[in-house]
Amino acid sequence: MMCCLSKHPTYGGKIVSNSTKPVLNQTPLYEEHKKLGAKMIGFGGWNMPVFYSSILDEHQAVRQRVGIFDISHMGQIEVSGPAAKRYLNAVLTNNVERLDITHGQYTLMLNEQGGVIDDLIIYRRHDNDYFLVVNAAKIEEDFAWMRSRLTGEVSLLDRSAFFAALAVQGPRSPDLLLQFGDLPARNQMQELRILGIPVLVARTGYTGEDGFELFYPAAAGGMVWNRLLELGGALGANPCGLGARDTLRMEVCYPLNGADLSPDRTPLEAGLGLFVDLQKPEFVGRGPLLKQKESGLKQRLVALKADGKSPPLRAHYGVFVGDKRVGELTSGTQSPSIGIGIGLGYLDVSFAHPGQKVEIDVRGRRFDATVEKKPLYKKRC
């Protein structure tokens, strides 16, 4: 018991206790999580809540009402200066030229081989000021990579320690935040005040629901968190952990870096071509991507759904068509919304199309599944 069979638990890591030196970082909300009785796990070098009461309940809170997540582990990098746009266009895949002031854009940072270092959202705050939100485990690597590529009049600042961050997600999230002022439109960012504290509010998220991501001074961590939970009470708000964050993002097929994205996979293989502008004259990884586009992909990241009752799907389970191993899952769970095993995985391209019947190996037993169109879960309108 208590032994993880999945070799790559999606938010795995050892729980740290009685350790003589802290091996995990704590967010500004650590004490609040403890007060709420959260179960904590290590994720990306941080000690984070995996759930407060139940992943299933927290998942439903976001799908039906509103959930509030601590995402302070994520990193913030500020890039500014007259040459910022040009510089960013050379280190990121999407086109920064297309970014209006206050808007945000999903983009990727690649290595020289076209593999994914990180996926992130870049916001344009002012004419020459950009705000990047990057994955927790990649803050140092991203920053070092960006620094090594600095050219022109650009300033680069790692602001991760300065910011606390929350995700406020779900159909009732606008009702909660409207109390503080006008809300930004989808993918945009604006500043609001909560308890007098300046808070950057972006209408973005990782759940497939309407929702917001908030960035504000770490020193005010608990104040804003508690105020939102207090006001959210009337809307049925729940504090939510990384467990629900993971099941929510899998249902809508958002990739997780480190699981579905890696330095060995290109954004084209991951189905993220929409966020790569190959028309740009130059950016890191462009050459290999062009070559890959020309020669054709070998594998593609697809969404899979079990045909019937099965154990929850997990990363690293093999995917078969007859006797042929055609790929492997990189993420998986049992979907709380549809009650069936779901996963993401790379399959050989000849099998990587919706409707393809496959079998998934779970501890030596085969379970029928089908390649599905993304997303796996759609809101009923």
By rule CB under 8 A, what count of residues binds another protein?
27
Whether the CB-CB separation of 284 and 111 falls below 8 Å is answered with yes
Q: Which of 160, 133, 157 is nearest to 80 (CA)?
A: 157
Comparison of 12 and 174: residue with beta carbon closer to another protein: 12
* Among the residue ranges 53-61, 78-86, 101-109, 202-210, the one whose residues contact another protein (CB under 8 A): 53-61
Q: How far is CA 248 from the centre of its chain?
A: 10
Q: Which of residues 258-317 bind another protein (CB under 8 A)?
A: 310-312, 314
Q: DSSP label at 102?
A: T
Min dist CB 336 to another protein, Å, is: 7
| Binding status of residue 11 toward another protein by CB under 8 A | yes
Comparison of 18 and 148: residue with beta carbon closer to another protein: 18
Query: In the set 6, 190, 226, 292, which binds another protein (CB under 8 A)?
Result: 6
| Binding status of residue 5 toward another protein by CB under 8 A | yes
Q: DSSP label at 254?
A: -
Q: Which of residues 323-342 bind another protein (CB under 8 A)?
A: 333-334, 336
Q: DSSP label at 3?
A: -
SS3 state of residue 104: strand
Cα–Cα distance measured from residue 263 to residue 174, given in angstroms and rounded to the nearest whole number: 37
Q: Kindly give, in sequence order, each residue whose CB lies less than 8 Å from that of residue 376, ignoring residues fewer than 6 positions away.
A: 250, 251, 252, 253, 303, 305, 335, 338, 342
Comparison of 7 and 380: residue with beta carbon closer to another protein: 7
User: Amino acid identity of 156?
Assistant: L
Query: In the set 25, 54, 128, 370, which binds another protein (CB under 8 A)?
Result: 54
Query: In the set 29, 48, 55, 167, which binds another protein (CB under 8 A)?
Result: 55
Query: In the set 25, 26, 39, 374, which binds another protein (CB under 8 A)?
Result: 39
Beta strands 211-217; 163-169: pairing state: antiparallel
Cα–Cα distance measured from residue 176 to residue 169, given in angstroms and rounded to the nearest whole number: 10
Residues that bind another protein (CB under 8 A): 1-6, 9-12, 39, 50-51, 53-56, 243, 247, 310-312, 314, 333-334, 336, 363
